[in-house]
């Protein structure tokens, strides 16, 4: 069904119920959940969701204690026991209440009947995708031909170096459209992408997977030569792939990997997540250079996010009541058309 404006309540609710049943969200990588108690939270619509490593299994639950609704995890990432901070109810790997302080004195409960709301995780190699229990599509089917290449990337990642959560006052679709807009990269991002990219994108679009590859600038390739020998299997492109509708992965040369999500909070606000990873390389043996390179990646990414936040908020304040059809879309922002076409079918 075609929507009229970005701020149409009706379209938002229709898309919400569609994506809760059909979307896969790329939430992370196994390397973030190595130790028992490692966790990460994401916000999806009005819910906070925690991905948590139990003794053996990684599970996902709505971050809402069944007692009186407190958030069990208040940080976006960390390591802790699965215990609510309010009255110390604890939970097991199936989301069942394990222990209730003063249970006999305070309650008459059948503990086996109360559980946290569960979300499901599916794996592409070591990448972790989250879906709701309503989603009956397999991840293999969702990713199609991209499953194997993505699995290969996941096996090449060894370390997470950054996880950030941002709140942008913009509709989520504007944020996704910005992320698949190659055209702006060399103008808005003057101190970062302008020095890295050659604006010659090539697209490959198939169902839920919208891929883009672009050559790197001579200047960047030249500069990178200094530390090139620390890496294995580098390529000579910048790649960015959107997994419709919320998640993306990007990489420069394969020297670092960036996962991003643009998850709706409500019509006017988006929860943006960014996770950065390093590939397996000889950097591991050189902690000083690894630290330096990691900090460069984090700084580069942060700068881009701040510029994109301002732009998305500026656009949304202007186009709230526009019909997206009135906008002019060119060949250097081609995926925006594919993204809109897919949304129109919902």
Closer to ligand FES by Cβ: residue 70 or 221: 70
Spatial contact of 161 and 281, defined as CB atoms under 8 Å apart: no
Q: Which residues contact 240 (CB under 8 A, 6 or more apart)?
A: 179, 180, 182, 211, 212, 214, 248, 249, 250
- The SS3 assignment for 319 reads helix
- Report 7-66 residues binding ligand FES (CB under 6 A): 65
Distance between CA atoms of residues 127 and 157, nearest Å = 9
Confirm or reject binding of residue 114 to ligand FES (CB under 6 A): no
How many residues are given for the chain? 346
Q: Which is nearer to Fe ion, 290 or 308 (CB)?
A: 308
97 binds ligand FES (CB under 6 A): no
165, HSE (Cβ side, Cα atoms, 13 Å) = 16
Does residue 89 interact with ligand FES by CB under 6 A? yes
Nearer to ligand FES, 111 or 198 (CB): 111
86 binds, among ligand FES, Fe ion, none (CB under 5 to 8 A by kind): ligand FES
Binding flag, residue 86, ligand FES (CB under 6 A):
yes
Closer residue to ligand FES in complex, CB, 73/293: 73
Edge to edge, the sheet with strand 25-29 lists 25-29, 127-131, 118-124, 58-62, 47-53, 38-44, 77-79
Cβ atoms within 10 Å, residue 140: 11
Residue nearest to Fe ion (CB): 308
Picked from Fe ion, ligand FES, none, the partner binding residue 84 (CB below 5 to 8 A depending on kind) is ligand FES
- Binding partner of residue 89 among ligand FES, Fe ion, none, CB cut-off 5 to 8 Å per kind: ligand FES
Q: Compute the least distance from the CB of residue 211 to Fe ion, in Å.
A: 18
Q: Count each helix (H run) and each strand (E run) in the chain, helices first.
A: 10, 16
Nearby residues of 269 by Cβ (< 8 Å), 6 or more positions away: 167, 168, 169, 170
Q: Which does 31 bind (CB under 5 to 8 A by kind): Fe ion, ligand FES, none?
A: none
Return the range that interacts with Fe ion (CB under 5 A); candidates 48-56, 93-101, 288-296, 306-314.
306-314
Q: How far is the CB of 236 from Fe ion (least distance, A)?
A: 22
- State the residues that interact with ligand FES by CB under 6 A: 65, 67-68, 70, 84, 86-87, 89
Name the site residues for Fe ion (rule: CB under 5 A).
308
């Amino acid at each position: 069904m075609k929507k009229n404006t970005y701020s149409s309540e009706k379209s938002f609710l229709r898309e919400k119920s569609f994506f809760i049943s059909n979307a896969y969200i790329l939430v992370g990588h196994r390397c973030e959940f190595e130790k028992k108690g490692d966790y990460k939270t994401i916000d999806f619509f009005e819910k906070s969701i925690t991905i948590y490593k139990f003794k053996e299994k990684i599970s996902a639950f709505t971050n809402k204690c069944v007692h009186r609704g407190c958030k069990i995890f208040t940080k976006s990432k960390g390591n802790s026991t699965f215990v609510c901070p309010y009255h110390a109810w604890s939970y097991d790997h199936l989301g069942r209440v394990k222990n209730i302080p003063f249970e006999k004195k305070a309650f008459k409960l059948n503990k086996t009947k109360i559980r946290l709301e569960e979300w499901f995780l599916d794996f592409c190699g070591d990448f972790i995708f989250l879906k709701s229990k309503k989603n009956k599509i397999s991840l293999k089917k969702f990713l199609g031909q991209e499953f194997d290449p993505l699995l290969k990337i996941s096996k090449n990642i060894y370390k997470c170096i950054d996880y950030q959560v941002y709140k942008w006052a913009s509709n989520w679709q504007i944020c996704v459209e910005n992320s698949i807009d190659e055209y702006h990269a060399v103008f808005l991002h003057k101190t970062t992408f302008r020095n890295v990219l050659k604006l010659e994108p090539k697209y490959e679009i198939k169902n839920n997977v919208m891929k883009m590859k672009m050559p790197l600038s001579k200047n960047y390739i030249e500069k990178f030569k200094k530390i090139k020998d620390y890496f294995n299997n580098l390529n000579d492109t910048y790649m960015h792939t959107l997994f419709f509708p919320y998640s993306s992965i990007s990489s420069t040369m394969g020297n670092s990997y960036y996962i991003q999500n643009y998850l709706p909070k409500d019509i006017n606000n988006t929860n943006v997540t960014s996770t950065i990873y390093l590939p397996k390389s000889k950097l591991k043996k050189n902690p000083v250079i690894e630290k330096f390179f990691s900090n460069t990646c984090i700084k580069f990414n942060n700068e881009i996010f701040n510029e994109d936040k301002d732009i998305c908020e500026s656009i949304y304040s202007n186009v709230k009541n526009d019909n997206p059809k009135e906008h002019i879309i060119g060949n250097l922002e081609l995926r925006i058309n594919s993204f809109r076409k897919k949304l129109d079918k919902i």
